Amino acid sequence: MINAPVLFGVGGYVPDAVLDNEALSRIVETSDEWITTRTGIRERRILAPGSGGACMAAVAARRAIEDAGIPPESITHILYATCTPDAMCPPTSCTLADKLGLSGVFTADVNVACSGYIYGLTLTRGLLAAEPEATVLLVAADVMSSRVNWQDRSTCVLFGDAAGAAVFRAGGKGKGILKDALVSSNGALGPLLHVGGGGSATEFKPGDVIGPEFFIRMEGREVYKHAVRCMVKCSRDILERNGLGIEDVDLFIPHQANLRIIEAVGSKLGFPAEKVFCNVQIRGNTSAASIPLAFYEAREAGLIRPGMTVLFATFGGGFTWGSALLQL
């Protein structure tokens, strides 16, 4: 039995620039009515092109470190969840460490698409079990605007840019305890949500035209079905193995993919609407950042209180999925 990681601080960040459905309908053939009916999304935040996600991650990380009340130099490990790294090399976790003025720390990128934060929580448990003196900074940031095809209306309306962060230690008096985390995957379904171009399985050379294969391609209906099924199952599984029922959960924070997925998962699990947190309407799907940003914004809104049990559930490319339980 490992000691449960203690949560010391959280942070989040969204860029200032708002892209609402009205403005989107001037880029592709779509409408506010179609987007809100199908997804619930009204607007999303977009990072200035070419900025790189590490600049968002650095703000979220500094907020989490400040919230933790610790000196930045006490961070020993940085896990950076993203599927939109600043570059193929160096790892963006290294870039982030440098932006934070840290060197000599453990840095690793975690690429499991939207599930990055929950996988990161699982890795945090392992790191703190192996190195109880460590202080782990877990950051999740995605610049989805850099990898959507702005000519593909079936995908570009869904995503936004953001970062979220958390600081964990193996003990001490923090703000909550990561009770459990559970993750899974099925690589056979990978082609249903795919960005091939830029990887080593796609041949390209200087001067080639950047084609649609360099951007997100998705079988929306298939993703929808699997997302609902997997998030429901992993939520039930983690509650069962912790001897908890739905009634024991005070707040459910699912991956903010779209409102219809969130509502379907919430209702299949039996949550009343007021226990299901949503910010997808104003953030869009921010991939790995979605859950830590939602938690940060729920806390900023005064919805997180001592003694609460919070359930997270995620789903993303891979396919990957997972759940986690936070005891405040």
Give the residues lining the site for ligand ACO (CB under 6 A): 30, 34-35, 38-39, 114, 153-154, 157-158, 193, 218, 220-221, 223-224, 227, 255, 257-258, 260-261, 285, 315-316
Report the Cα–Cα distance between both ends of the chain, in Å, rounded. Answer: 20
Task: Compute the least distance from the CB of residue 223 to ligand ACO, in Å.
Answer: 4
Catalytic residue among 55, 114, 230, 234: 114
- Is the Cβ of residue 128 or residue 156 nearer to ligand ACO in the bound state? 156
Q: Which residues pair with 176 in a beta bridge?
A: 7
Pairing of strands 135-143, 77-81: parallel
With CA atoms as reference, report the closest residue to 40 among 326, 324, 276.
Answer: 276
Task: Compute the least distance from the CB of residue 56 to ligand ACO, in Å.
Answer: 18
- Is the Cβ of residue 5 or residue 284 nearer to ligand ACO in the bound state? 284
CB 162 within 8 A of CB 56: yes
Task: Compute the least distance from the CB of residue 30 to ligand ACO, in Å.
Answer: 3
Question: Whose CB is nearest to ligand ACO?
Answer: 220
- Is the Cβ of residue 22 or residue 208 nearer to ligand ACO in the bound state? 22
Task: Compute the least distance from the CB of residue 256 to ligand ACO, in Å.
Answer: 8
Task: Compute the least distance from the CB of residue 183 to ligand ACO, in Å.
Answer: 15
- Is the Cβ of residue 39 or residue 309 nearer to ligand ACO in the bound state? 39
Q: Which residues pair with 80 in a beta bridge?
A: 109, 139
* Alpha carbons 265 and 249: distance in angstroms, whole number: 14
Q: Which residues pair with 316 in a beta bridge?
A: 320
- Is the Cβ of residue 68 or residue 140 nearer to ligand ACO in the bound state? 140
Return the amino acid letter for 144.
Answer: M
Catalytic residue among 77, 83, 230, 255: 255
On the CB side of 115, CA atoms within 13 Å amount to: 26
DSSP-derived 3-state class of residue 114: helix
Query: Is the omega angle on the peptide bond into residue 271 within 30 degrees of 0, that is, cis?
Result: no
Catalytic residue among 21, 149, 258, 285: 285
- Is the Cβ of residue 108 or residue 259 nearer to ligand ACO in the bound state? 259
Count the neighbouring beta carbons within 10 Å of the beta carbon of residue 229: 15
What are the structure tokens assigned to 59, written together?
């703000």
Query: Is the omega angle on the peptide bond into residue 49 within 30 degrees of 0, that is, cis?
Result: no
247 φ, ψ to 5°?
Answer: -65, -15
Task: Compute the least distance from the CB of residue 200 to ligand ACO, in Å.
Answer: 23
* Alpha carbons 232 and 269: distance in angstroms, whole number: 6
Instruction: Write the CB contacts of 31 (distance below 8 Å, at least 6 apart in sequence).
Output: 21, 25
The question of whether 285 is a catalytic residue gets the answer yes
Task: Compute the least distance from the CB of residue 225 to ligand ACO, in Å.
Answer: 9
The question of whether 278 is a catalytic residue gets the answer no
- Is the Cβ of residue 35 or residue 75 nearer to ligand ACO in the bound state? 35
Count the neighbouring beta carbons within 10 Å of the beta carbon of residue 49: 8
The question of whether 114 is a catalytic residue gets the answer yes
* Catalytic center residues: 114, 255, 285
